[in-house]
Chains A and B, each alone.
Chain A
Amino acid sequence: MGSQTSSIGQDKLDRYQECTYFTMKEIKRLYKRFMELALLYFPPTDLKKMSRPTLPPHIIATMAELKVNPFADRIIHVFSDDVNGCMTFEGFLNMFSVFNEQAPRDVKAFYAFRIYDFDGDQYLEHGDLLRTLERITRRSLNDEEAELIITKVLEEAEMDDDMKISFMEFEHVLSRAPDFLSTFHIRV
């Protein structure tokens, strides 16, 4: 990588620092990591020329560690900048910003909600939950069990009887879950 790929301009650094919850050191570290990932895809010469390198989704998805992760595609999808799932450094930074411990609860809740919301219709319904459950358990529950768990979940979260969980309801349920804030963050 060398010094060129792992350095950001000072002005950019300041801006990033304002927009996110990170310190300069953390941003630099993330940038380095981002460039490492980008190097997997672009030859170094191309990378130097690019002003805003983007990571195509399959680069992230092909990472060995992520292959087994059931939510890899969701993470990429939710935090990517465009429909193709390409991720710029801003998106990359944004992702970790959300998981920072200083990020407010509703921001975290919003992204958590988006990860659940497979079809992107702003509601979590049966289908979304089923897919989540399948991913969590790797399809080891039988249909009945899954059905029951989903019913239970819906029952707990439901407030307006439309059998889908809106963001409001989702937030409300999360507010009753004390573990959420303490688990939904990461140390960079």
Chain B
Amino acid sequence: MKTNGVLVLGLTGILFLLSVAFLHSDSFQSNVTGEIVRHKRSSGVAASNESQHQTNASQSSNHNESNSSHGSSTPVHRYQVVTINWARVANPFIISIWIIFAGITKIAFHLIQKYVSRVPESCILICLGLVVGGIAYSIDKDHRIEQLLFNPDTFFLFILPPIVMEAGYFMPKESFFDNLGTILTYAIIGTIFNALCIGSSLFAVYKWGLMPGLEEYGSLEFLHCLLFGSIISAVDPVAVISVFEEIHVNTVLYICVFGESLLNDGVAVVLYKMFEGYIEIGQENIIGIDIIAAIASFFVVAFGGLFIGILFGYAGSFITKYTVHNRIVEPTFVFVVCYIAYLTAEIFHLSGIISIVFAAFTMSTYVEHNISTKSHTTVKYGMKMLANIAETIIFMLLGIAAVSDFWQYWNTGFVLWTLFFITLYRAIGVVGLTFVINYIRLDKINRVDQFVMAYGGLRGAIAFSLVSLTQPEHVPTIKTMICSCIVAILFTSFVQGSTIRPIVELLHVKTSAKHKKSMFEDVNLRMIDHVMTGVEDIIGHHGHHYWMQRLQKFNTEYLMRWFVRDPYLSRDHELLDTFHRINKRDAEDLVEEFERGNSSNEIASGTFANLLLPYEMRRSHSHASFNHLVRQQGVTNTCIDMHALEAQGRANGAGRTLEDADVHHLLQQNLYKPRAREVTRYRRGNIEDDGTRKRQEEEILIRRKINVRHRRHHKHKHNRHKTRSSSKSQMSGGSIKKHSTAPNFVVEQQQEMKTAPPEEDQGITFTAGKKPDVAAEGVEETDTTRVDIESCAIDRELPWKRNPSNNDVVSDPHNTTSYEEPAPEISPESCSNLENVWPSNTNNNSSHPEDGGLHFILDKWESLEEDQI
């Protein structure tokens, strides 16, 4: 690990040097080309020739080309084998190097995190940026690096969108809407309050003469202060995301700070534009209509952004409705439509951030239903990747940009007052607004949360970009403001950002527990929703629940139909979603268990094949029977008691594909193919897996696992429970007869599901002849500890467990022969009977017990899949 760390750090260092060197040569290069262009344009051929001759001495055939293209007096160059064309690729090359650099920083950060776990990542990145910036600054006197990498345009057009897009796409919807009022209050009123207060306070302090030395740089007017106030007052989403993601505070707190930081962009941009416009008009020329126009423009900017975002979101959802046959392009739409929403909003000077957030937000609601699972994963990872990298780059560039020449306009008074006021008014704003909000809110925001909210008011790159955009002609003291802004960013990131975690721990802020909704909870929540709506109706009070239900109804009845390809037939897709999720989790648990080698061979391999089912069929309508399979697998594996028995009893009722599967099984077992031929065709648009090949791969995987398991199994023989060892002897085909005196087992077949559970209690009678104690013990133990080993062991231990037949009553008098009987007796439509295959195969083909069963599982899986499709 340590050597790896050294290696990575070394790599980073080399890359860093490289990039600096590249940057340097690039600046040199672009300098030269810039000159060429300028000369070409202005003074014509003769002058340009001269300047080129000077630079030509150094290198580059590029110049030769440009020479020959328009030059007349230069000698003809012969054809060259290798030419260097650096200028052409310079910018993308440097940017790529930067992205890689940022990525490696990320890796390196994780390695040093052990030593500096208290410091947030953003701080380290800023520090690194400072170092890089310092070196680059000393090498490169023209500050071209800064201009290339951190100009406001690059920032707003390329770096910022991915971050906010990700934020919008993965925004927790429920808590966002639950706290919408609070968020809007903070974002709109809070930001306006902050901007005005900071601006006017700074101006007052300046007038009182508490900022000595500021006059040297130019005059400071009231509007300048307000402009600066509007820049510095907005909490930065990027900084907030990066810090609050590390400390896991509770959802309400998180969504309040986070939502505020996202939505206050609209306000900040409006205020900025407004004051900028006022400065251009001039303070004395402002009339009433300007102020009214500014207020109107606020609504236009914020709601225009919102409207464009939602519009594009729905457009994107609508497109993905028709991508069934071109799965590969699905993620593109999600990304690009969001981006276009952002750009469109920017065209009209609307709030791009609000636009992209809501575009992503809207899309995530509908697109998830349309795109395939793979595309879903792609979108998810793509978003995370882009956002992560962009975030890293932003912080590093902040550090780089901080090293520049504006520090000579430093004014201590201004900077310190700024820091003081932003902290003060943030605190006042949060406390004051919360006081008002708490009158309306049901779950009050307590003192501690307020403190964290105020303390988490981090400033970031957006403020810096805005302040860099401002022209010195308009605001003479802008350089001082840049200083102050940088200090504010650094202060909030370093001091507040790195102390917020200890403070959160110290104050015992309710942190968010890792909580996944259980099925019961979900059902319960729905019920409560309905009940509360009913109660609200009785009282004649149209509260939150009423509107939520209206919205939901509208969504399911109209919007879903338009924007989702296969809208759930059910009204309650959330319930089904939870259900899917739980199933998935079960499956994942099984995989883990399988990896750990906790379960037996049979079950493990049977499970493994089945595991893959829900992923494939997750979105299809006919998920029920697949869930069924997995469900039962889960039941039999995780708890062996009444549930398992019930599940198996139920399994018998649902046999539709039984004969089909059987026939398929028989056929496929005999027709098993040799290794699949390689598929040599290649199509860019086709990522569908070849069925056979996939199957073979899976099989190999399973085989390997089984082998590993076999070895491990033998090794740990003695550590196992006694049921374990006895079951193993059965597995190896030795003592099957031992279990021939199987217990009498009565399963009442439950056609009428309603009364199933109580009857099953009575229906099962344990009269095990051989080992009743094992059964009892197993049941007991799994009740308390749910040890999977036991359950598996019992699965094999009790033959009746594996033999739910289609008859209503199975009281097996001829149980002695049940093992020798081949597969047909087994009903193979449930998972449990996938396990059933094992014993019969053990008998038929004792040398390779896995093979037969394996084929069967895989074949069955396929046939089932076909059936379902």
A30 to B541, CA, bound (A): 11
Q: Give Cα distance in the complex from A130 to B524, angstroms.
A: 13
Question: What is the distance, in angstroms, from A160's C-beta to the closest C-beta of chain B?
Answer: 9
B624 touches A127 (CB 8 A): no
CB contacts under 8 Å to B, within A55-109, are 60, 63, 65-66, 69-72, 74-75, 95-96, 99, 101
- For chain A residues 139-173, which have a beta carbon within 8 Å of chain B? 140-145, 147-149, 151-157, 161-164, 173
The reply to whether the CB of A174 lies closer than 8 angstroms to some CB of chain B is yes
- Bound-state CA distance A77–B545 (Å) is 21
Whether, in the assembled complex, A4 has its beta carbon less than 8 Å from a beta carbon of chain B, the answer is no
Asked if residues B521 and A115 are in contact (CB atoms below 8 Å), the reply is: no
- Give complex CA distance A125, B536 in Å: 28
A183 at the A/B interface (Cβ < 8 Å)? yes
CB of A185 within 8 Å of the partner chain: yes
B103-111, B612-620, B748-756: which lies at the interface: B748-756
Residues in A neighbouring B582, C-beta threshold 8 A = 152
Residues of A within 8 A of B572 (CB): 136-138, 140-141
- With A137-B570, A145-B624 already in contact, the answer to whether A153 and B755 are too (CB < 8 A) is no
Given contacts A126-B753, A126-B755, A163-B642, contact A183 B532 (CB under 8 A): yes
Q: Does B143 contact A (CB under 8 A)?
A: no
The smallest C-beta distance from B550 to any residue of chain A, in angstroms, reads 11
Contact present for A138 and B571 (CB under 8 Å): yes
Q: Choose among B515, B527, B538 the residue that contacts A66 (Cβ–Cβ < 8 A).
A: B538
Interface pair A180/B624, CB less than 8 Å apart: no
Is the Cβ of B631 less than 8 Å from the Cβ of A173?
A: no
Do the beta carbons of A147 and B753 come within 8 Å of each other? yes
Assembled-state Cα–Cα distance A139/B319 (Å): 31
Across the interface, do A186 and B530 meet the contact criterion of CB distance under 8 Å? no
Are B538 and A148 in contact (CB-based, < 8 A)? no
C-alpha spacing A136/B753, complex, angstroms: 19
Chain A CB within 8 A of B869 CB: no
Give a binary string over B550-579; 1 marks a CB under 8 Å from any A CB, 0 the rest.
Answer: 000000000000000000111110011001
Alpha-carbon distance between A162 and B757 when the two chains are bound, in angstroms: 8
**Which A residues are in CB contact (< 8 Å) with B529?**
183
**Which of B182-190, B646-654, B849-857 sits within the interface?**
B646-654
Contacting pair B570 A141 (CB below 8 A):
yes
Query: Which residues of B sit under 8 angstroms from A155, Cβ to Cβ?
Result: 635, 639, 643
State whether the Cβ of A179 lies closer than 8 Å to any Cβ in chain B: yes
Q: Which residues of A contact B571 (CB under 8 A)?
A: 137-138, 140
Query: A148 near B570 (CB under 8 angstroms)?
Result: no
| Chain B CB within 8 A of A36 CB | yes
Among the listed A125, A127, A153, A164, which residue makes an inter-chain contact with B520, where contact means beta carbons less than 8 Å apart?
A153
* Contact pick for B525, options A145, A173, A179, CB 8 Å: A179
C-alpha gap A59/B729 in the complex (Å)? 71
A182 contacts B443, CB within 8 Å? yes
Q: Is there an interface contact between A149 and B532, defined as CB atoms closer than 8 Å? A: no
How would residues 120 to 137 of chain A score, 1 for a CB under 8 Å from any chain B CB and 0 otherwise?
000001110110110111
Q: How far apart are the CA atoms of A130 and B639 in the complex, in Å? A: 23
Q: In the complex, which of the residues A30, A36, A70, A132 contacts B523, with contact meaning CB atoms closer than 8 Å? A: A132
Given A126-B757, A136-B575, A145-B579, A112 and B520 contact (CB-CB distance below 8 Å)? no
Contact A186 B536 (CB under 8 A): yes
- In the complex formed, the residue of B with least CB distance to A174 is B524
Majority SS at the chain A contact face: helix
Contact across chains for A187 and B442 when beta carbons are under 8 A apart? yes
Whether B92 sits at the interface, judged by CB under 8 Å, is no
Which among B531, B569, B571 has the highest number of chain A CB atoms within 10 Å?
Answer: B531
Asked whether any CB of chain A lies closer than 8 Å to the CB of B539, the reply is yes
Nearest Cβ distance between residue B786 and chain A, in whole angstroms? 11
Bound: A149/B635 CA distance, A: 13
Q: Does B375 contact A (CB under 8 A)?
A: no
Contact A178:B515 (CB < 8 A) given known A151-B631, A157-B520, A188-B541: yes
A48 at the interface (CB under 8 A from B): no
Inter-chain CA distance A91–B189, complex, in Å, is 42
Q: Are A185 and B526 in contact (CB under 8 A)?
A: no
Judge whether A137 and B575 touch: CB under 8 Å. Answer: yes
Give chain B residues whose Cβ lies under 8 Å from the Cβ of A126: 753-757
Q: Is the CB of A153 within 8 A of B519?
A: yes
Cβ-defined partner of A144 (8 Å) among B545, B628, B754? B628
Q: Are B526 and A148 in contact (CB under 8 A)?
A: no
Closest to A55 in B: B538
Q: Are B442 and A185 in contact (CB under 8 A)?
A: yes
CB contact under 8 A between A176 and B538, given known A125-B757, A140-B569, A144-B625:
no
- Within the assembled complex, what's the spacing in Å between the Cα atoms of A149 and B575? 9
Q: How far is the CA of A90 from the CA of B533 in the complex (A)?
A: 21
Determine which of A99, A112, A162 lies in contact with B524 in the assembled complex, contact meaning CB atoms within 8 Å. A112
B674 contacts A by Cβ under 8 Å = no
The interface residues of chain B lying within 8 Å CB-to-CB of A177 are: 518, 520-521, 524-525
- The answer for the CA separation of A36 and B520 in the assembled complex, in Å, is 37
CA distance A77 to B322 in the complex (A): 48
A69 near B576: Cβ-Cβ < 8 Å: no
From 749 to 785 in chain B, residues with beta carbon under 8 angstroms from any chain A beta carbon are 753-758, 760-761, 783
With contacts A66-B538, A136-B572 known, is A184 near B513, CB below 8 A? no
List residues of chain A with CB within 8 A of the CB of B530.
69-71, 135-136
In whole angstroms, how far apart are the Cα atoms of A141 and B526 in the complex?
15
Inter-subunit contact B538/A60 (CB<8 Å): yes
Residues of A within 8 A of B575 (CB): 136-137, 141, 149
User: Which of B531, B539, B646 contacts A115 (CB under 8 A)?
Assistant: B531
Given contacts A72-B534, A141-B570, A155-B639, contact A161 B783 (CB under 8 A): yes
* A36 to B, closest residue via Cβ: B540
Q: Could you tell me the distance in whole angstroms from the C-beta of B650 to the nearest C-beta in chain A?
A: 7
**Residues of A close to B536: CB separation below 8 A:** 186
Cross-chain contact B569 with A132 (CB below 8 angstroms) = no
B827 within 8 A of A: no
- Nearest 4 interchain pairs by C-beta: A163-B757, A65-B537, A140-B570, A152-B519
The contact sample of 8 A-B pairs, CB cut-off 8 A, is: A99-B532, A126-B756, A132-B523, A133-B523, A136-B572, A147-B650, A164-B757, A187-B442
**Interface of B with A (CB < 8 Å)?**
442-443, 513, 515, 518-521, 523-541, 543, 545, 568-572, 575-576, 579, 582, 624-625, 627-628, 631, 635, 639, 641-643, 646-647, 650, 654, 753-758, 760-761, 783
